[in-house]
Amino acid sequence: MRSPTSTRRGVASVLVGLAEDALRTTLPVRVRAWDGSEAGAPAGPGVPLVVIRSRRALRHLVWSPGELGLARAYVTGELDVQGDVTDALRQVWRAIRDRPPAPARSRRDRLVARLGTVRTAARLGAIGPRPPRPASESRLTGRLHTTFRDRAAISHHYDLSNAFYELLLDPQMAYSCAYWPDDNETYPLEQAQRDKLDLVCGKLGLRESSRLLDVGCGWGSLALHAAEHYGARVVGVTLSVEQRDFVRARAAARGIADRVDIRLQHYRDVPDTGFDAVSSIEMGEHVGDREYVDFAARLYGFLRPQGRLLVQQMSRNGAAPGGGPFIETYIAPDMHMKPLATTIGLLAGAGLELREVQAMREHYPRTVRDWLATLEDRWDEAVAIVGVEVARVWRLYLAGAALAFEENRMGVDQILAVRPDGAGVSAMPWTPDAWGVQRGTGWA
């Protein structure tokens, strides 16, 4: 039986009115509700269609207003987007960002508006029991950034399924920003990831028998590349059992197991020192806020005098250092991203001399778009591996991530530093041109 509101106007029209009042802007999308009604922007090419399949989508928003409620409705399939999810998010974000300033409203007016929204929500059937939390949400316990909790946080994301990451990523399994030599759209992701690995190895000055510590080694793209193509002897540490076993198997298959030591170990528990080079490729985001001082000191301590450090790390200015409710709940619990200047200050404060910072923000949307295109092209395979709910989590995650880097709400940078010796000698080349490889030229 339809509610009086839906009978009179259609549910979609009511929902669009509520959304536009809350957001204080005209929605740039078309909305289709569970009663078949449509409202919002006129249908046509380039206009995303948001489909609200049931009242449960509204209940998610009532119980968890904002980003988290929308995410819960999306990952459970109660809310869907037909068309390009990234473009839909882009259009909505632009409308919110460009809206004119709102006139001040009295407390009484705000209360009246809120009561009106509650009455309308009740007529639509949005008021009801709290919907169950989606199974794909993280459920961490324990004190923040203990080894136990860090292991659980890493496991939630990285132990999802090696088969899924093999489907999504390039053959090197590089789960970090790639590096393109120019804006040539035909340049493949696989080669751009190789170029990134060569760029890192060149900046670190790796050569035969160099000792490299890779902190947060992932699926071993850098560790294996450094050992196989530069002759380095690599220690890689990870908190993911799946990653450790994967990298060990690949090293054995390539005949370089004697040069690649992969450990299930927290960086705080690494006893080794005297490394020629240390890398941290998009791992520093998982360290924590207060913990980063100790992390920077340990990076310094792992190096021999004149040893080099390469940190590739995402940055975020201002609000939501964890990435926002969706990222913190579904993707990377306990993550903390800092402004670039803060990270540089902490590394310098540990005694490291900063030699170069290379911004790579424009490279990340291209990287993520390639991952998302692969996910869409191989959707049925992905669903067979991780289930439809987790696949929808990743579609939303990748779409939002591409947009965050595109619009400069997040950045990513390579920070090159050195530990000078007691006399202040760095032994660094005079110019970047003297590094072991030229940037973006491929194999060393």
The answer to whether the CB of 273 falls within 8 A of the CB of 216 is no
Measured in degrees and rounded to the nearest 5, phi and psi for residue 31 equal -120, 130
Q: At what angle do helices 189-203 and 221-230 cross, to 10 degrees?
A: 70
Nearest alpha-carbon partner for 419 in 275, 307, 274, 277: 307
- Strand, helix or coil for residue 312: strand
Q: pLDDT tens-digit profile of 382-430? A: 999 999 999 999 999 999 999 999 999 999 999 999 999 999 999 999 8
Neighbours of 102 (CB within 10 A): 8
Which segments of the chain belong to CATH 3.40.50.150?
147-434
Nearest alpha-carbon partner for 221 in 241, 245, 250: 250
- Strand, helix or coil for residue 337: coil
Alpha helices of 46-180 — where are they, by DSSP H?
55-63, 67-75, 85-97, 107-123, 147-158, 162-168
The answer to whether the CB of 281 falls within 8 A of the CB of 218 is yes
**Position 284 confidence tier, pLDDT thresholds 50, 70, 90:** very high
* pLDDT the model gives residue 127: 85
Task: Name the least confident of 4-8, 194-198, 338-342, 367-371.
Answer: 4-8
* pLDDT the model gives residue 438: 42
* pLDDT the model gives residue 8: 55
CA dist 237 and 32 (Å) reads 49
The answer to whether the CB of 419 falls within 8 A of the CB of 177 is no
- Strand, helix or coil for residue 401: helix
Q: How does DSSP assign 61-98, residue by residue?
A: HHHSTTHHHHHHHHHTTSEEEES-HHHHHHHHHHHHHT
The amino acid at 370: D
From first CA to last CA, the distance across the chain in angstroms is 69
Nearest alpha-carbon partner for 412 in 316, 286, 309, 290: 316
Q: Check whether 270 has a pLDDT greater than 90.
A: yes
CA dist 176 and 214 (Å) reads 14
Beta strands in 327-396 (DSSP E): 353-359
**Position 436 confidence tier, pLDDT thresholds 50, 70, 90:** low
Measured in degrees and rounded to the nearest 5, phi and psi for residue 430 equal -65, -35
Q: pLDDT tens-digit profile of 25-43? A: 999 999 999 999 999 999 9
Q: pLDDT tens-digit profile of 61-120? A: 888 988 999 999 999 999 999 989 999 999 998 998 888 877 777 888 777 776 777 788
Q: At what angle do helices 221-230 and 241-253 cross, to 10 degrees?
A: 20
Q: H or E element: which one contains 311?
A: strand 303-315
User: Which class for 177: exposed (0-12), middle (13-18), buried (19 or more C-beta within 10 A)?
Assistant: buried
Task: Name the least confident of 98-102, 216-220, 228-232.
Answer: 98-102
Domain 147-434 belongs in CATH node 3.20.20.70: no
CA dist 224 and 234 (Å) reads 8
What 15-18 contacts at long range (C-beta under 8 Å, 24+ apart), as own/partner pairs, is 15/39, 15/52, 15/58, 15/124, 16/40, 18/117, 18/120, 18/121
Residue 157, both tokens: 């994301």
CA dist 37 and 202 (Å) reads 59
Nearest alpha-carbon partner for 234 in 215, 253, 219: 215
Nearest alpha-carbon partner for 79 in 20, 16, 34, 43: 34
The answer to whether the CB of 23 falls within 8 A of the CB of 49 is no
DSSP 3-state percent helix, strand, coil across the chain (nearest 5): 45, 15, 40
219 vs 101, residue with greater confidence: 219
Q: What is the CA radius of gyration of the chain?
A: 24
